[in-house]
């Protein structure tokens, strides 16, 4: 029987000795690798925080002590230790447990997570509320060094002021975000990390103090003084984090349970805000993930023996990357921007071929948009490659720094529409609605690889102002035989004199076209440009009785609503139905199940039109 077999709650963790705790970490790593190889998920980030999470639940008392995971993509060990071990095989499956923290799963999950750089803000709010209410317990925020490239983290650090005695921030420093980190923050952490005199001397002091029984609380102030003197001796000045008002501990070996438990115990009795700098290895304990942490950050099913993914092939993302390389070879103005998603957005090859025209700005979508506007202002043609769910973070910059300035910035919006098992925080269903509100914005929606490439060419050489091209995750979709994009704003399939018309765009066209073969007296209008909608398309519907608009996006503010208003304004009297995602968040499930749930799959389309 393994140690993990007897661990069903944080209380069970506290009963274990150091030998058993280390065995528990080995058991957890084995479970992580076996499960994620079958379900897909975030493996490297979770393997890197096994010891840290075990140490947290050894020292602190969740949920009275509240643990907030930034992004939440490193919470698997936390889930296993907080009563979800037996459910772990359902990770990221429909009706199973999420790959991120979710309060509806457990009282040990404080927030629903999925986006970066938010944990310190959340933790400060929790800590201040505890103080106002007189509640006991600490609040611990775990944030990766990559998340410190996001400005929200600094707003929070600045706001904390060091006065919140129940606040502990743990900086998980693995020298990675998703792609390799960039910028001055990473350099600063590297400087701290490579001071061997500091690390050696401080480790000896910590161990000596930890071995003194029952007096940790009394010498807490002494630890602070000693730490300060050590830092000043090595660096001749205070660390960045102390300047922000924190008591700084670190760097700590994030895979040494003795050191972790000692420093967490010291921080627990502190009467001031504390920041603990922990050094970890992403992918720890699984050689393929250690060698290639980027590939194993978010991975599908894979072979445990080889580490090779079980599926591969051309995708919309890889087509985008290849298109950018082809266009950039002959146009020195073209440059690409990403927010720590080089591999995910298909720009790895571009980054190698054109290093002077490739910019990874870190997890800083707001900066990426405004930075791109600056590039455009001085004659470049920037393409910002970003997941739909992350573009949400830069709405103000879209309006103020791009549209209002009338600069030509092109947005390659990846993962548009349903993204399956990633869950509520990552579904790309909101970009259409908020892009519809941005003046002078042009938006295209390709349905296949050829359209994607041609639309980017059109955006670069024929359009002005802000342009977005939104495309789905994954592989090629079903399309009409011999179909070629003719660069028109819309395409008609079938006879416009039919009684029924289906209107759609993007990935959803594949489902609608599949349904068309089972329908009579029906034709399809495929919108290639969804903002602004070409007004001529309305005239096509003059002899149509029923119009069905199918949209894989949020209904409120969607293209279907704009289309309906255009029908009314032009006195086109039809029976109109708009089928889209109603108010709410789309839960994790295979994409085909999500389509069926929202009546956007082929069978539901057939039923809707036949019963209409």
Averaged over 551-573, what is the pLDDT?
96
Distance (Å, rounded) from C-alpha 18 to C-alpha 258?
8
Task: Note the pLDDT of residue 177.
Answer: 47
Crossing angle of helices 257-268 and 196-210, in 10° steps, is 70
pLDDT at 207 over 50: yes
pLDDT at 204 over 70: no
Averaged over 448-467, what is the pLDDT?
96
Assign 163 a pLDDT band (cuts: 50, 70, 90).
low
Distance (Å, rounded) from C-alpha 238 to C-alpha 248?
9
Task: Note the pLDDT of residue 213.
Answer: 65
pLDDT at 181 over 70: no
Task: Note the pLDDT of residue 300.
Answer: 86
pLDDT at 452 over 80: yes
pLDDT at 226 over 80: no
Contact between residue 147 and residue 365 where contact means Cβ atoms under 8 Å apart: no
Task: Note the pLDDT of residue 202.
Answer: 55
Contact between residue 56 and residue 140 where contact means Cβ atoms under 8 Å apart: yes
Averaged over 417-445, what is the pLDDT?
96
- CA distance readout (Å), 531 to 15, 129, 400, 415, 510: 61, 44, 19, 19, 20
Task: Note the pLDDT of residue 210.
Answer: 57
User: Annotated catalytic residue: which of 92, 202, 282, 526?
Assistant: 282
Averaged over 144-158, what is the pLDDT?
89
Assign 380 a pLDDT band (cuts: 50, 70, 90).
very high
Task: Note the pLDDT of residue 186.
Answer: 45
pLDDT at 459 over 70: yes
Question: For residue 215, how many other CB atoms are within 10 A of its CB?
Answer: 10
Averaged over 145-154, what is the pLDDT?
89
Task: Note the pLDDT of residue 217.
Answer: 46
Distance (Å, rounded) from C-alpha 547 to C-alpha 563?
10
524 strand-pairing partners: 493, 502
Averaged over 368-378, what is the pLDDT?
98
Burial of 527 (0-12, 13-18, 19+ CB in 10 A): buried
Burial of 583 (0-12, 13-18, 19+ CB in 10 A): exposed
Q: What is the pLDDT of residues 21-64, one digit of tens each?
A: 999 999 999 999 999 999 999 999 999 999 999 999 999 999 99
DSSP one-letter code for 218: T
Task: Note the pLDDT of residue 214.
Answer: 60
Assign 298 a pLDDT band (cuts: 50, 70, 90).
confident
Nearest Cα to 412, choosing from 433, 428, 401?
428
- CA distance readout (Å), 478 to 312, 446, 487, 512: 18, 13, 19, 10
Task: Note the pLDDT of residue 293.
Answer: 87
Percent of the chain beyond pLDDT 90?
76
Whether 291 is a known active-site residue: answer: no
Tell me if the bond preceding 444 is cis, omega within 30° of 0: no
- CA distance readout (Å), 447 to 319, 323, 485, 506: 13, 16, 10, 5
In this structure, of 184-193, 314-323, 348-357, 509-518, the range with the lowest mean pLDDT score is: 184-193
User: Annotated catalytic residue: which of 84, 92, 268, 393?
Assistant: 393
CA-only gyration radius of the chain, Å: 26
Give this prediction's pTM.
Answer: 0.88
pLDDT at 180 over 60: no
Assign 229 a pLDDT band (cuts: 50, 70, 90).
low
pLDDT at 183 over 70: no
Contact between residue 35 and residue 112 where contact means Cβ atoms under 8 Å apart: no
pLDDT at 246 over 80: yes
Q: Cα–chain-centroid distance for residue 587?
A: 15
Q: What is the mean pLDDT of the chain?
A: 90
pLDDT at 541 over 60: yes
Percent of the chain beyond pLDDT 70?
89
Task: Note the pLDDT of residue 194.
Answer: 34
Task: Note the pLDDT of residue 223.
Answer: 60
Averaged over 471-495, what is the pLDDT?
93
Whether 569 is a known active-site residue: answer: no
272 vs 593: which has the higher pLDDT = 593
User: Annotated catalytic residue: which of 365, 451, 508, 511?
Assistant: 365
Tell me if the bond preceding 251 is cis, omega within 30° of 0: yes
Averaged over 232-242, what is the pLDDT?
59
Distance (Å, rounded) from C-alpha 58 to C-alpha 69?
17
Structure tokens at 7: 């661990």
pLDDT at 235 over 50: no
Q: What is the pLDDT of residues 589-608, one digit of tens each?
A: 999 999 999 999 999 999 99
Averaged over 180-209, what is the pLDDT?
50
Assign 1 a pLDDT band (cuts: 50, 70, 90).
confident
Task: Note the pLDDT of residue 100.
Answer: 95
182 vs 539: which has the higher pLDDT = 539
Contact between residue 122 and residue 140 where contact means Cβ atoms under 8 Å apart: no
pLDDT at 580 over 50: yes
Task: Note the pLDDT of residue 191.
Answer: 44
Segment (H or E) for 227: helix 220-235
DSSP one-letter code for 542: G
583 vs 361: which has the higher pLDDT = 361
Task: Note the pLDDT of residue 225.
Answer: 62
Whether 531 is a known active-site residue: answer: no
Q: What is the pLDDT of residues 64-113, one digit of tens each?
A: 999 999 999 999 999 999 999 999 999 999 999 999 999 999 999 999 99
């Amino acid at each position: 029987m393994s140690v993990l077999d007897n661990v069903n709650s944080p209380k069970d963790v506290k009963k274990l000795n150091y030998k058993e705790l280390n065995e528990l970490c080995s058991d957890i790593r084995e479970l992580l690798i076996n499960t994620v190889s079958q379900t897909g998920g975030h493996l490297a980030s979770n393997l890197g925080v096994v010891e840290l999470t075990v140490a947290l639940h050894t020292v602190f008392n969740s949920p009275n002590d509240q643990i907030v995971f930034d992004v939440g993509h490193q919470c698997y060990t936390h889930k296993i230790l907080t009563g979800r071990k037996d459910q772990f095989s359902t990770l990221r499956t429909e009706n199973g447990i999420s790959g991120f923290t979710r309060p509806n799963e457990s009282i040990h999950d404080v927030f629903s997570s999925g986006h970066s750089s938010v944990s310190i803000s959340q933790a400060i709010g929790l800590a201040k509320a505890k103080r106002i209410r007189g509640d006991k317990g600490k609040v611990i925020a775990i944030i990766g060094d990559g998340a410190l490239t996001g400005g929200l983290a600094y707003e929070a650090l600045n706001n904390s002021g060091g006065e919140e005695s129940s606040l502990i921030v743990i900086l998980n420093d693995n020298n990675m975000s998703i792609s390799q980190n960039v910028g001055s923050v990473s350099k600063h952490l590297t400087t701290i990390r490579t001071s061997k005199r500091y690390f050696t001397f401080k480790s000896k002091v910590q161990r000596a103090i930890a071995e003194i029984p029952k007096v940790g609380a009394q010498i807490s102030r002494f630890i602070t003084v000693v730490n300060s003197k050590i830092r000043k001796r090595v660096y001749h000045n205070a660390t960045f984090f102390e300047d922000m008002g924190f008591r700084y501990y670190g760097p700590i070996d994030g895979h040494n349970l003795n050191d972790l438990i000692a420093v967490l115990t010291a921080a627990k009795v502190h009467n001031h805000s504390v920041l603990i700098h922990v050094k970890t290895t992403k992918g720890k304990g699984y050689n393929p993930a250690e060698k290639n942490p980027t590939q194993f950050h978010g991975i599908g099913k894979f072979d445990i023996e080889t580490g090779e993914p079980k599926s591969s092939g051309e995708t919309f993302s890889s087509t985008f990357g290849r298109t950018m390389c082809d266009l950039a070879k002959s146009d020195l103005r073209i440059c690409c921007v990403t927010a720590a998603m080089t591999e995910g957005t298909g720009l790895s090859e571009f980054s190698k071929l054109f290093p002077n025209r490739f910019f990874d700005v870190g997890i800083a979508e707001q900066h990426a948009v405004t930075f791109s506007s600056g590039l455009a202002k001085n004659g470049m043609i920037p393409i910002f490659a970003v997941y739909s769910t992350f573009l949400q973070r830069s709405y103000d910059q879209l309006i103020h720094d791009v549209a209002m300035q009338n600069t030509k910035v092109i947005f390659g919006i990846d993962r548009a529409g349903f993204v399956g098992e990633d869950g509520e925080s990552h579904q790309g269903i909101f970009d259409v609605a908020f892009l519809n509100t941005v003046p002078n914005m042009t938006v295209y929606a390709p349905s296949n690889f050829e359209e994607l490439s041609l639309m980017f060419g059109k955006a670069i050489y024929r359009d002005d102002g802000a342009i977005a091209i939104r495309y789905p995750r994954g592989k090629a979709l079903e399309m009409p035989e011999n179909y070629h994009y003719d660069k028109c704003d819309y395409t008609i399939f079938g006879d416009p004199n039919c009684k029924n018309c289906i209107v759609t765009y993007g990935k959803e066209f594949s489902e609608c076209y599949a349904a068309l073969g089972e329908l009579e007296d029906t034709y399809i209008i495929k919108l290639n440009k969804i903002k602004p909608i070409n007004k001529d398309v309305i005239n096509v519907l003059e002899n149509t009785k029923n119009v069905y608009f199918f949209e894989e996006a949020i209904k409120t503010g969607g293209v279907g609503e704009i289309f309906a208003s255009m029908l009314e304004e032009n006195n086109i009297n039809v029976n109109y139905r708009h089928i889209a995602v109603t108010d709410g968040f789309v839960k994790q499930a295979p994409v085909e199940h999500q389509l069926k749930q929202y009546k956007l799959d082929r069978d539901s389309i057939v039923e809707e039109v036949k019963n209409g």
